[in-house]
Amino acid sequence: MSAPEPSRLAYVPFVSVANMMRLMHRIGVTEMICGIATCIEEDFRRWELFDKIPRVASHSLEGVIELMPTSDGEVYGFKYVNGHPKNTRDGLQTVTAFGLLADVHTGYPVLLSEMTLLTALRTAATSALVAKYLAPQGADTMALIGNGAQSEFQALAMKALCGVTRLRLYDIDRAATAKVMRNLTDRGFDLIACDTAEAAVEGAQIITTCTADKQNATILTDNLVGAGVHINAIGGDCPGKTELHRDILSRADVFVEYPPQTRIEGEIQQMPDDFPVTEMWQVINGTAPGRRDAGQITLFDGVGFATEDFSALRYLRGKLHDTGLYDALDMIADPDDPRDLFGMVQRASGTTA
């Protein structure tokens, strides 16, 4: 006797790494970043609908493993993500991830996806969306300090959403900078490799710090930051990991995603608990000011928040019907009688080895 066919709901669309790369080529990396940025902006505008908690983290000496859950009341989502800086020494990714969306009304999953690539897209989309609101008008030069796996995505996002065309690149590993130079050739950038962080920030209106080491580092010191710049600090994302000297924070207006998480993980973990910050959803909604004048130093203390991953998964789900670039996973047990799970197993006895 053959087992009954599972219902439509028992199959869960799964986007593999291979299909994610096919989507990126089919749609275009820049187009996907812009589409995800639109979804993030939309979800910031309805911020108060979302469940919000700091991500649940399990720390070790080598790194961190985290879960990032949220829901808008209709759809639930989470991302599993790790951060292990030592991995590159073993030929492994520093960050890997996967994510899921589920229907709140049934609890059934509606999407499972790789999120190592998707996180790179959403991190870049968030950075550029924020810079669109906070960077000085006419900014076209960005210093990119830390030239690892996120770099090219950050550059393409800043070009598409903010008009950045000149990149000043620095990394303690010259091979990383050479990699970015190679990957971004013929992408419409003026690329300048720099020998120091000080040289990289010269003439830059936007400074992005994106380093991976799990330590309290000082990638930027106060003397390197002039009036009027926007700092996109996205490398710090866990307790004990920062990139900026605290004096920079004292001079800047600091913008964050979700303060209870950023105070644990971001640059502001160096500051008192009552250190003032502005939430980006308020800026996007128009209920709080962003950049007020040309001399203001704005600083986005970006650690990555669950709603941004939700937005990226929401964008991805919307692309699957037209592209068909997914696999259908037989993931949910689906007996004819919901109370007879054992009977479903019995009836399948002739169909499995």
- Catalytic residues, by residue number, are 237
Contact 226, 252 (CB under 8 A): no
DSSP 227: T
Phi, psi of 81, deg, nearest 5 = -145, 145
Distance CA 306, CA 26 (A): 26
The single-letter code of the amino acid at 60 is S
Residue given tokens 């649940």 in the structure block: 56
Largest CA distance in the chain: 76
Distance CA 321, CA 329 (A): 16
Classify 134 as helix, strand or coil: helix
Phi, psi of 282, deg, nearest 5 = -70, -35
The alpha-helical segments, DSSP class H, found in the chain are 17-27, 29-45, 116-134, 151-162, 174-183, 197-201, 246-251, 259-265, 280-285, 306-323, 341-347
Angle at which helices 151-162 and 116-134 cross, to 10°:
40
Exposed e or buried b per residue across 288-317, where buried means at least 16 C-beta atoms within 10 angstroms of its C-beta: eebbeeeebbbbbbbbbbbbbbbbbbbbbb
